[in-house]
């Protein structure tokens, strides 16, 4: 037999794209059921207030309306959304109710839901609902929330509703004795992921079987099934979440939202299928937001630029409530400030602050984007103060390979032990600098060329991935000799079907077309954990390897029986069981032997992709406009399964980071009204905005923590962008003494920084 060429590592085009390009995909809004009704949701137009009365009589009387539900009809106590990740009893009073109960705390909070024959009738009925709200003062900024002129939860007595402490060794007298110290206040603004497809839920209740079926699941269907089953008082096996195609997630979409209860509740109550599709304004108002954190940060170094310690006091504005994933960003922003650098002593306190904004949660690089902005700004400031080249400053402080694995600083409460696994940080830094022609471009720093000032910056980062605790995969040998692979990982646009097909095909020594992947829905495997924290390739891929090993064992046993020899006398090669006496059987001949297995991969150790980015910008000091002249990124993703899909992830991630750093911004006024509630005001990147992105992923140091060796790489492109661009702008405008301390780097903000600069020798 000829040697088989491995598929892992090859740039194979995405298997899932053909049906999407031909218009054969199935998204939430494509689902149609017999007798289906439609839902529309009345959302609060008030940022903070007491609900005195709701009159739904006129809406109920409208022809075509079947029901109107508010908290009274749903029943008290109104279910509250649980915290899925790192829950703590101290968060319970601040969890979001599925519908406003007595009080509204942000514009966009659901107050009532209308079920009607058509979406138009349902929306018309919303206009007929009368709501009497006693308006309270709102707090939207961190400063106002901390000052507490208005309290979201009066019985708590403060808008500081939780906190984390992060420690590594003792800072002791470091800041009193260090040769150099500097302190800054930095801020990362509020923005989020804007998915192509908005959220959608279709629910169908089978009263005879006591069975709830829901379409539109994304990201974590098994977790959402558990939550919904608990709220509806149903056994988990009586709730099915069906995942179709998904127009993106990025962490913000696919967690459990109020609508994930309200639509199934209405379907069961009325005995008819119900559909709800979110419009774009609802998405902007009520989707999980992200970032919005300020930091008082101080760094101490010796005279040669070696970091001695960092101290940070952070305040994260999480909006009105805890949601399922709200805990992740405040945990990460505290733990990730040291990044890939040697920081002997570190302490951070992260205050979780409630305000009258939409609740926040995870979005690509949660907490890490913010932490990198804080750290990388401080590194450039320290290097400039000490008169040390910025690259050399980083070299002196990057962890060496001999220092790895390196534990992260300890966090309380809900401690989790994790450590940087493997890496050659300085080597990747050198590769990135070389690709960006760093040395040849240094003469451009701060130089005025054709009316614009040029600047370059470099940053280093780490990206966490492979969150446990486990993931499942089930393999079945079908009658036609192909393999059906059922996985607990979800497809949210990242190419998981292609990746897992490659892994399975290699493990089974079969061609790609011999593997069919079924992903993410709750009927396929007994347990699944979904797609978040850059985990699908590592966790799902290793589960596939385990399933393949058992399937091959079963094939060997069945083949030995057919070939009338012992198990020791057969071997498996390229989809055939071969006996020592020369006979062999293929997979079609083995079909019908009930060859199937569901494997679970357990893992408690994260992976850490790492890399470096270089940005070259040109800044128009008269308008504040920033152009990305060149952008170079290199990251070591461990073992690369598919360089083509990885490249797409890297470029897309960088573009989202650039959008967040330069364009996207949720702006609220003092009454809690969102001023950027449409895509005319909330700017997202266009395909033409950032054409000059060059990115390379390399296989340098596979993860030692699991057999596959891969590392998660869905978020690394976003993580360093904010700090990198701020440093590049500072380099470009150095003659103006401009030092950005806030994001976004919007034209008006850059223009003001130039106008307010203490000296304008570059003008």
The residue ranking higher by pLDDT, 519 or 71, is 71
Q: Torsion-angle region of residue 250: left (phi > 0), alpha (psi -120 to 50) or beta?
A: left
| 620 and 494 fall within a common domain | no
**In CATH, what number is assigned to the domain containing residue 546?**
3.30.365.10
Let me know if 637 is exposed, middle or buried by CB neighbors in 10 A (0-12, 13-18, 19+): buried
Question: Which residue range(s) make up the domain with 750?
Answer: 290-466+605-755
In this prediction, residues 319-327 reach a mean pLDDT of 97
Position 172 scores a pLDDT of 82
In this prediction, residues 299-312 reach a mean pLDDT of 97
- How many residues comprise the chain? 763
Number of other residues whose CB lies within 10 A of the CB of residue 663: 18
**In CATH, what number is assigned to the domain containing residue 282?**
3.90.1170.50
Position 759 scores a pLDDT of 59
Q: How confident is the model at residue 520 (pLDDT cuts 50, 70, 90)?
A: confident
pLDDT at 287 over 50: yes
- For residue 168, being part of any structural domain is answered with no
Q: How far apart (Å, rounded) are the C-alpha atoms in residues 8 and 515?
A: 14
DSSP at 592? T
Return the residue matching tokens 């040769």: 179
- For residue 12, being part of any structural domain is answered with no
Q: How confident is the model at residue 763 (pLDDT cuts 50, 70, 90)?
A: very low
In this prediction, residues 702-725 reach a mean pLDDT of 95
| 662 and 737 fall within a common domain | yes
Please give the share of the chain, as a percent, with pLDDT higher than 70: 99
Position 687 scores a pLDDT of 87
The residue ranking higher by pLDDT, 172 or 566, is 566
| 271 and 127 fall within a common domain | yes
| 263 and 318 fall within a common domain | no
pLDDT at 3 over 60: yes
| 122 and 216 fall within a common domain | yes
Take residue 486 and report the two structure tokens written for it. Answer: 């059922």
| 519 and 373 fall within a common domain | no
Contact 748, 684 (CB under 8 A): no
Looking at 577, 602, 627, the residue that finishes a domain is 602
- For residue 143, being part of any structural domain is answered with no
**Closest by alpha carbon to 509, among 464, 461, 443, 556?**
556
Minimum mean pLDDT range among 73-77, 266-270, 319-323, 501-505: 73-77
| 364 and 503 fall within a common domain | no
- For residue 190, being part of any structural domain is answered with no
Beta-carbon contacts of 374 under 8 Å, excluding residues fewer than 6 positions away, are 186, 188, 295, 297, 312, 337, 723
Please give the share of the chain, as a percent, with pLDDT higher than 90: 94
Q: What is the sign, positive or negative, of the torsion defined by CA atoms of 711, 717, 718, 723? A: positive
In this prediction, residues 496-500 reach a mean pLDDT of 95
Contact 613, 632 (CB under 8 A): yes
- For residue 709, being part of any structural domain is answered with yes
pLDDT at 693 over 60: yes
Position 1 scores a pLDDT of 45
Domain count, the chain: 3
- For residue 544, being part of any structural domain is answered with yes
Position 5 scores a pLDDT of 84
- For residue 63, being part of any structural domain is answered with yes
pLDDT in tens, 218-244: 999 999 999 999 999 999 999 999 998
pLDDT at 253 over 80: yes
pLDDT at 760 over 70: no
Looking at 550, 580, 602, the residue that finishes a domain is 602
Q: How confident is the model at residue 154 (pLDDT cuts 50, 70, 90)?
A: very high
Position 15 scores a pLDDT of 93
pLDDT in tens, 354-395: 999 999 999 999 999 999 999 999 999 999 999 999 999 999
Mean pLDDT of the chain: 95
Beta-carbon contacts of 486 under 8 Å, excluding residues fewer than 6 positions away, are 473, 474, 475, 476, 517, 518, 519, 524, 525, 598
E strand spans, 141-228: 160-168, 180-191, 200-206, 211-215
Beta-carbon contacts of 130 under 8 Å, excluding residues fewer than 6 positions away, are 53, 54, 55, 58
Instruction: Give the distance between the most distant pair of CA atoms in the chain.
Output: 90
Looking at 576, 602, 628, the residue that finishes a domain is 602
| 578 and 657 fall within a common domain | no
Position 521 scores a pLDDT of 86
| 377 and 412 fall within a common domain | yes
Let me know if 233 is exposed, middle or buried by CB neighbors in 10 A (0-12, 13-18, 19+): exposed
| 677 and 598 fall within a common domain | no
Q: In what order do the strands lie in the sheet with 110-116?
A: 65-69, 110-116, 37-43, 274-277, 200-206, 211-215, 239-242
Q: How confident is the model at residue 87 (pLDDT cuts 50, 70, 90)?
A: very high
| 461 and 499 fall within a common domain | no
| 100 and 218 fall within a common domain | yes
- For residue 165, being part of any structural domain is answered with no
Let me know if 685 is exposed, middle or buried by CB neighbors in 10 A (0-12, 13-18, 19+): middle
For 265, phi then psi, to 5°, come to -60, -45
Strand 345-354 relative to strand 307-319, pairing: parallel
């Amino acid at each position: 037999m000829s040697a088989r060429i491995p598929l892992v590592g090859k740039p194979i085009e995405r298997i899932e794209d053909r049906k999407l390009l031909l218009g054969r995909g199935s998204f939430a809004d494509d689902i149609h059921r017999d007798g289906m009704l439609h839902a529309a949701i009345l959302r609060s137009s008030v940022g903070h207030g007491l609900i005195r009365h709701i009159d739904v009589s006129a809406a109920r009387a409208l022809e075509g309306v079947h029901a109107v539900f508010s908290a009274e009809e749903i029943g008290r106590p109104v279910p509250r959304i649980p915290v899925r990740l790192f829950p703590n009893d101290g968060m319970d009073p601040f969890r979001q109710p599925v519908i406003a109960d007595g009080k509204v705390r942000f514009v966009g909070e659901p107050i009532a839901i209308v079920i009607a024959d058509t979406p138009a009738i349902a929306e018309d009925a919303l206009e007929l609902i009368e709501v009497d709200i006693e308006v309270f003062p709102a707090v939207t900024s961190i400063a106002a929330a901390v000052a507490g002129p208005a309290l979201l939860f009066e019985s708590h007595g403060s808008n500081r509703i939780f906190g984390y402490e992060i420690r590594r060794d003792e800072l002791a007298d470091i800041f009193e004795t260090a040769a150099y110290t500097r302190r800054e206040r930095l801020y990362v603004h509020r923005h989020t992921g804007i998915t192509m497809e908005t959220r959608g839920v279709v629910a169908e209740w089978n009263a005879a079987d006591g069975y709830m079926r829901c379409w539109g699941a994304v990201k974590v269907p098994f977790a959402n099934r558990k939550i919904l089953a608990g709220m509806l008082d149903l056994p988990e096996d009586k709730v099915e979440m069906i995942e179709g195609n998904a127009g993106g997630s990025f962490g913000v979409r696919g967690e459990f939202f109020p609508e994930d209860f309200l639509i199934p509740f209405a379907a069961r109550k009325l005995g008819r299928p119900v559909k709800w599709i979110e419009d774009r304004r609802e998405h902007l108002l009520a989707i999980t937001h992200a970032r919005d954190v300020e930091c008082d940060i101080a760094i101490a170094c010796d005279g040669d630029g070696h970091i001695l310690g960092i101290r940070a006091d952070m305040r994260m504005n999480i909006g009105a409530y805890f949601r399922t994933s709200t805990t992740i960003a405040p945990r990460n922003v505290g733990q990730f400030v040291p990044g890939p650098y040697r920081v002997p002593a570190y302490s951070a306190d992260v205050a979780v602050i409630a305000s009258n904004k939409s609740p926040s949660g995870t979005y690509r690089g949660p907490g890490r984007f913010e932490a990198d902005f804080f750290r990388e700004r401080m590194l450039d400031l320290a290097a400039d103060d000490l008169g040390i080249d910025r690259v050399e400053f980083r070299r002196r402080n990057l962890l060496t390979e001999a220092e790895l694995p390196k534990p992260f600083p300890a966090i309380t409460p809900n401690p989790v032990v994790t450590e940087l696994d493997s890496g050659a940080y300085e080597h990747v830094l050198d590769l990135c600098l070389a690709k960006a022609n760093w040395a040849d471009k240094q003469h451009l720093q701060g130089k005025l060329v054709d009316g614009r000032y040029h600047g370059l910056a470099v940053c280093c980062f780490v990206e966490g991935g492979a969150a446990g605790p486990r993931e499942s995969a089930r393999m079945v040998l079908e009658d036609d000799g192909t393999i059906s692979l059922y996985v607990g990982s979800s497809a949210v646009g990242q190419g998981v079907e292609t990746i897992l097909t490659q892994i399975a095909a290699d493990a089974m020594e079969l061609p790609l077309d011999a593997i069919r992947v079924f992903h993410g829905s709750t009927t396929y495997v007994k347990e699944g954990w979904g797609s978040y924290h850059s985990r699908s390739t590592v966790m799902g891929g290793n589960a596939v390897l385990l399933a393949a090993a058992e399937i091959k064992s079963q094939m060997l046993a069945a083949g030995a029986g057919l070939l009338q020899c012992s198990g020791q006398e057969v071997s498996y090669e390229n989809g055939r069981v071969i006996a020592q006496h020369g006979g062999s059987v293929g997979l079609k001949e083995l079909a019908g032997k009930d060859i199937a297995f569901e494997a679970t991969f357990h893992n408690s150790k994260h992976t850490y992709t790492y890399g470096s980015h270089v940005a070259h910008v040109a800044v128009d000091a008269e308008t504040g406009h920033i152009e990305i002249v060149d952008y170079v990124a290199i990251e070591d993703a461990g073992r690369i399964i598919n360089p083509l899909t990885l490249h797409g992830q890297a470029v897309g991630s960088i573009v989202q980071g650039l959008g967040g750093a330069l364009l996207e911004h949720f702006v609220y006024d003092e009454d809690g009204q969102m001023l950027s509630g449409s895509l005319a005001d909330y700017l997202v990147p266009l395909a033409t905005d950032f054409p000059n992105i060059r990115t390379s992923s390399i296989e340098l140091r596979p993860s030692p923590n699991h057999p596959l060796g891969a590392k998660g790489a869905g978020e690394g492109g976003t993580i360093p962008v904010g700090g990198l661009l701020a440093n590049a702008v500072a380099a470009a405008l150095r003659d103006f003494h401009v030092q950005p301390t806030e994001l976004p780097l919007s034209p008006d903000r850059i223009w003001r920084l130039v106008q307010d600069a203490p000296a304008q020798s570059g003008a």
